Structure 1
Amino acid sequence: MISTVEFLGMRFLDANPSGVRAALCDALKGPFGYVVTPNVDHVVSYHRGDAGLRAAYDGAAFQICDSRVLAKLASLNGLHLTPFPGSDLTRELLEQPLHSGLRMAVIGPDEAAFRDLRARFPSVDLVHIPCAAQLGVGTGEWWQTVGRAAAADWDLLFVCLSFPKQELFARDLGRTGRERGLALCVGASIDFLTDRQTRAPKAMQRANLEWLHRLASDPRRMARRYLQRGPAIFGLAARAWRAERGRDRTSERRRVLVLSTVLPHGRSTGGEIASMNFIEGLRATGCEVDILAYRREGDDREPPPGFLSPRDWPIESAGRPVRAAAWMGRAYLARRPYSVQKYVGARIKRLLRLRLRTAPPDLVVVDHAQASWLLPLVPAHLPVVLIAHNVEHQLYGSHGDAVGGAGKASPKQRLKGAVYKREGERLSAVERAAALRAQEIWTLTDDDAAAFAQMAPGRVVRSFGVPGQAFRGACEPLPEPSVDVGLLGSWTWDVNRAGLDWFLKSVAPRLPKDLRITVAGRSDHAPGTVRSNVRFAGFVPDAGAFLRSCRVVAIPSTVGSGIQIKTIETLGLGVPTVATTVALRGIDDPPLDLRVANGATDMVSAILEALDAPRPDGRDGAVWRQAREHAFRTDLAHALDALFEEALLERPSHVASEAAGEKGSILEGPHVERSEDGTSTPTEQARLRMGAMRR
């Protein structure tokens, strides 16, 4: 029997060896795919926030349980999970290939180990794909090796690299366009088969003590895995048990529908990263979450399960003057903001209607005010949460004043300023309407929460400290720097570009000419452009690796609302940082190696001071980020429980009054909460609620 078991965020293939073989045979008939074999360490790492690892695991064709401990924990949660360790799976497939003529390849072992493997299995059609002993993820050598593996002739590939390199390697194989084949991430399996490592005795395996054997065999390497990281699995299992008991009490799983502008799974912008924080947090509480938005044009990656899009859509206006002019014209005719009109379309409306009819949600989350144009399609009885990444109308209005309000502004600048101010005015009405329709507004900073409390009196407003994404190697000591001063951002957006322009004009010229200053991220400058002592690197595929390579990171934001994800992620890496007050909005508890500088003179001094200071190891930042993520997940779970509890209490009376034609339900008007002294000032309400959450 073959089934899929959802446990600790994984979709385990639950089958006996015959069932696993049958599933792999079927997979070989289809397009390229890969198999991961999660053990306790893999599951803990998956939950620690490494976006690349999560994406690699979520994209696997099968997840086969490699651990008897995981199987035992699943049984305590009432689930049946059949363990099939990767070493056993590898031996099984080599001893009895899935079919005659199956071509198999191995990557990871050296030439001597491969010769021993060939000697043990002489009848198997095996080829060896060589790779460096210390293969670095994302390096030139990495991509060359991926290319060799993609071009080789095989049906089944055993990927025997260290965790998580093998999972990332299998994922990148799929990105090469390879059409057929199945890659199996099986770790040290070949080492066991060639006697380079010794497996635990059968008795220890049956007693779930194979980990103890490996710890005793290699205590220096395995202590961190089994004694430091490993015990976290019991907390994850306990959380899953509590979530399951909660689902039993509510008799069904909570279903949440998120309406957004762009599918955020690619995490290509700070807004998408923040959206994924909320989506993953909702799923961590046990919710079934679907996301409805456009897929970014040019993104060929298949969206993960639950990410729904009616079509690909051009998101950026830059480089599309005709389309931008058409959007602007429609925005003026419809009296809408430009940043809303560009997402209006019939296909997404049809998809939303279909989804509401076929899979009615318990909660609708509007991610960004720009997606709130879809709210009239949401039935009035459904509770709504608005996630406000910024106070959009303030952001656009203030930028319009900055661009067109200067005394020496050119006619072009004044026109641009007028367009931004018009956008701010229109967005003010959009945000107010969305806030009044919502039962709760979730923001990213206390200041934004106070602004929305004034905008929609009586609504519950909460502020969440989003953690951003965790990068590979974030818990390891910082490497030797290759960049003196680094800047990272999406510089094609006017608001971000304003800070970069100020840095290039007022700060960079006053820094020593021999400093290596690198600007990473898409900008108006072609990659490789050099201006004086500043080099423009363009898009960097691994933002974490770039930030960790900097001696100092500068964040020169001059305009903004909400919170800057790049600031959080830089601080979470423990890299010495110099930032403006605007860049630090919403962050009131930063780690130690941070210097605040607003003027050009102060920023130059702070950068030079940071360059002269001893390089930290980065661990302070890693601890800070982990604490922030834990607080975020906890606050989100409490908010969700309160929201559903209120909806459960209010819905019967609301339905009754609605049937009688009465007014005044929670969904028809603001639900005013008063403080203990009887006051109901919106700003005070927001502050009190947020303070209560922190306590």
Structure 2
Amino acid sequence: MHLLFATSIVPDGGLGSGYEIANAAIIAALRRAGVRVTILGFTWPGRTALDAENTIVLGAVDVRNDHASITQKLKWLAKAVLTGLTFSSVKLRLVGPEQVRRAIAAAGPFDGYLLNSVQFTGAFDGLFDDRPSIFVAHNVEHVSAAENAIAVRGAFERLLFRREARLLKRLEARLCRGARFVFTLAEEDRSALGVASDAKSVALPLITRPDAPPPPAARRTDCDAALIGTWTWQPNRIGLDWFLGEVVPHLRRDFRISIAGSVPAGVTSFHPGVTFVGRVPDAQDFVRSAAVVPLISRAGTGVQLKTIEAFELGLPTVATSSSLRGIGHAPANCVVADDPAAFAAALERAASGEVADADGSAFYRRQRAELDARVRRGLEALGYQRHEALA
């Protein structure tokens, strides 16, 4: 079987975001099942496709709001209003539908599409109706947009997110209706998308690395707790605001917290132990330098890849319930707390040594085996026969 993986940003070997990690895991699972995968989409500026032989690149684009000027954002907004597209999809209209049609034809004979999230498909709606498809819903985007509309402070931003939520809800419903099968990344997203039937969808457990992690080894800690993320993304920002505003005030004054990643202007903390360190050279080394990893999601849908990564590394964690979306089996060294004071108390206990490192390889192996099994269920909905994988 040959599938065309249509995505906004093609894999380039970088695994700096949850979106990139999830894409790598899904594509690897498809190839382990014996499927030939051709990838279609854009690259980040200055980067090249990881698998150039099996990738069709439409151009280079930077879709990040925090990297765009006010002028660029206004151009995107005007174009979105004029075309009726979502703000997230209009950023990808650097090429016209005809160029995308030619690129699809260049992929050669193939059996179906893997429509990877709504942004790319929404930008070129209608071009992927000629073959059966699997829709990959990384998140329930309309729910995330509606949550963002509630969380933002400005009236103009609130109107934009409400518009985005309305358009995304219609687009996601259309993609789910048209797909033979739907992959979500969290169990609860199946119901939210209206595809809860086992004949129509499955939630994919994910992994963040190609091989099982090594057994736990002695490590030196430089801080009590470490957080890393793209905090300019609104669902992540909601969690960070909750952590800094409601959890941190309950921590003792000498509790040391390092926060890595891009932080929006105006995000601060009066706690003397909080340090914003910006970009770090190695995310795994950074989180391994902490006694405990706080998992602080409070909004959004889909799965939290930072949660999976921490579990694979066997690190002690304190997690909100929302951070465990898409996780069927949390390890014993994960403490769940949603009350701010209880979350802070659990962090202090873990940092004092009450919660030890674990062997994350068992978690990894269970996730990978279940991922492969569930990907095959989706492929079978496209007519894939098990003997094809043996050919």
TM-score, scaled relative to structure 2: 0.89
Match of 1:418 among 143, 155, 159: 159
**Which one of 24, 42, 63 corresponds to residue 315 of structure 1?**
63
Matched letter for residue 35 of structure 2: C
Larger radius of gyration: 1
Deviations 1:373-396 (A, max 9, x none): 33422352x111100011110111
Give, as a single letter, the amino acid of the residue that structure 2 aligns with 1:465. Answer: P
Shift in Å, 1:349: 4.9
Computed over aligned residues only, the root mean square deviation of the Cα atoms, in angstroms, reads 2.5
Consecutive unaligned residues of structure 1, counting only runs of 5 or more, are 1-253, 405-412, 647-695
Query: How far is the alpha carbon of 1:525 from its aligned partner?
Result: 6.3
User: Does residue 496 of structure 1 match 2:243?
Assistant: no
Q: Is the 8 A contact 2:8 2:120 kept in 1?
A: yes
- Aligned counterparts of 1:516 and 1:348: Cα–Cα separation in 2: 52
8 Å contact from structure 1 (residues 483, 549) kept in 2: yes
**1:260 aligned onto 2:7:** yes
Aligned amino acid, residue 421 of structure 1? R
Superimposed CA distance per residue, residues 293-336 of structure 1 (whole angstroms, 9 cap, x where no aligned partner): 11012436765432331211121121421111111111111122
Q: 2:144 aligns with which of 385, 390, 395?
A: 395
Give, as a single letter, the amino acid of the residue that structure 2 aligns with 1:563: V
Whole-angstrom CA distance in 2 between matches of 1:627 and 1:458: 20
Residue matched to 2:310: 570
Give the secondary structure class of the aligned counterpart of 1:613: helix
SS of the counterpart of 1:518?
strand
How far apart in 2 are the matches of 1:454 and 1:472?
Answer: 32
Identify which of structures 1 and 2 has the higher relative contact order when contacts are C-alpha pairs closer than 8 Å and 6+ apart.
2
Q: Among residues 28, 32, 43, which one is paired with 1:295 in the alignment?
A: 43
Q: Which amino acid aligns with 2:228?
A: L
Once residues 445 and 418 of structure 1 are traced to their aligned partners in structure 2, the CA distance between those partners, rounded to angstroms, is 28
**Structure 1 pair 293/478, CA: closer, same or farther in 2 (3 Å)?**
farther
Q: Give the corresponding residue for 2:351.
A: 611
Contact in 1 for aligned 2:349/2:355 (Cα 8 Å): no
Q: After the TM superposition, which residues 187-586 of structure 1 pair with which residues of structure 2 at under 5 Å, given as runs?
A: 254-265=1-12, 266-299=14-47, 304-319=52-67, 320-346=69-95, 349-357=98-106, 359-373=108-122, 374-380=124-130, 382-403=131-152, 413-453=154-194, 460-469=200-209, 474-524=214-264, 532-586=272-326
Provide closer, same or farther for how the CA distance between residues 441 and 282 of structure 1 changes in structure 2, counting only shifts above 3 A.
same
2:126 partner SS:
helix
Determine the structure 1 residue equivalent to 2:335: 595
Following the alignment from structure 2 to structure 1, what is the Cα–Cα distance between the partners of residues 91 and 29?
29
Is the Cα contact below 8 Å between 2:206 and 2:368 reproduced in 1? yes
Q: Does the 8 Å CA contact 1:262/1:294 hold for their aligned counterparts?
A: yes
The 3 A distance-change label for structure 1 pair 323 and 367 is: same
Deviations 1:172-218 (A, max 9, x none): xxxxxxxxxxxxxxxxxxxxxxxxxxxxxxxxxxxxxxxxxxxxxxx
Q: Counterparts of 1:267 and 1:307 in 2: how far apart (Å)?
A: 17
Cα distance, 1:643 vs. partner?
2.6
Q: Where does residue 32 of structure 1 map in the other structure?
A: none
Shift of 1:468: 2.5
**Cα 1:516–1:304 shift into 2, 3 Å:** farther
Q: After superposition, what is the alpha-carbon deviation per residue over 1:633-689, rounded to whole angstroms, capped at 9, x for unaligned?
A: 12212432343249xxxxxxxxxxxxxxxxxxxxxxxxxxxxxxxxxxxxxxxxxxx
Aligned to 1:661: none
Give 1:443's aligned amino acid. T
Q: Is contact 1:470-1:569 (8 Å) kept?
A: no
Alpha-carbon offset, residue 428 of structure 1: 0.6
Counterparts of 1:267 and 1:472, CA distance in 2: 17
CA drift of 1:522 comes to 2.0
One-letter amino acid matched to 1:423: E
Letter matched to residue 448 of structure 1: D
Gaps of 5+ in 2: 386-391
Q: Distance in 2 between matches of 1:387 and 1:424?
A: 18
The letter of the residue matching 1:602 is A
Distance 1:530 1:402 in 2: 22
The percentage of aligned residue pairs carrying the same residue is 28
Matched residue type, 1:263: V
Q: Does the CA contact (< 8 Å) of 1:444 and 1:463 recur in 2?
A: yes
CA pair 628-302 structure 1, distance change in 2 beyond 3 A: closer
Question: Displacement of 1:353 after TM fit?
Answer: 2.5
Contact 1:548 1:575 in 2 (8 A): yes
Distance 1:311 1:572, change over 3 A: same
Instruction: From the superposition, tell whether residues 438 and 605 of structure 1 become closer, same or farther in structure 2 (CA, over 3 Å).
Output: same
Pairwise CA distance, 1:458 = 10
Instruction: Deviation per CA, 1:571-623: give whole Å up to 9, x if none.
Output: 1111110111111112131111011111211111111121223452431x221
- Aligned with 1:318: secondary structure? helix
Superposition TM-score, scaled by structure 1 size: 0.52
CA contact (8 A) 1:441 1:459 kept: no
Distance 2:199 2:213 in 1: 41
The structure with the greater share of residues assigned to helix is: 1
Q: Supply the distance in 1 between the matched residues of 2:107 and 2:17 (Cα, whole angstroms).
A: 32
Whole-angstrom distance in 2 between the partners of 1:303 and 1:541: 24
- Residue 355 of structure 1 aligns with an amino acid whose one-letter code is I
Q: Deviation at 1:348?
A: 7.1
Judge conservation of contact 1:472–1:544 (CA < 8 Å) in 2.
no
Give the aligned partner of residue 388 of structure 2: none
How far the C-alpha of 1:549 sits from its partner, in A, is 1.8
- 8 Å contact 2:11–2:49 — kept in the other structure? no
Which AA in structure 1 matches 2:4? Answer: L
> Which one-letter code corresponds to 2:192 in the other structure?
A
Distance verdict in 2 for CA 1:530–1:479, change over 3 Å: farther
CA distance in 1, matches of 2:126, 2:49: 31
Match of 2:389 in 1: none
- Contact 1:443-1:462 at 8 Å conserved across structures: yes
Corresponding position: 1:629 with 2:378: no
**Distance in 2 between residues matched to 1:301 and 1:278, nearest whole Å:** 16
Q: Secondary structure at the match of 1:595?
A: strand
**1:503 Cα deviation from its structure 2 partner:** 1.3
For 2:96 and 2:271, locate their aligned partners in 1 and report how far apart those are by CA, in whole Å: 45
Deviations 1:395-453 (A, max 9, x none): 1112212335xxxxxxxx22222211111011011111111221111111111112223
1:624 aligned partner, one-letter code? F
Is the aligned partner of 1:640 residue 2:389? no
What SS does the aligned partner of 1:377 have?
coil
1:257 partner SS:
strand
Partner AA of 1:384 in structure 2: S
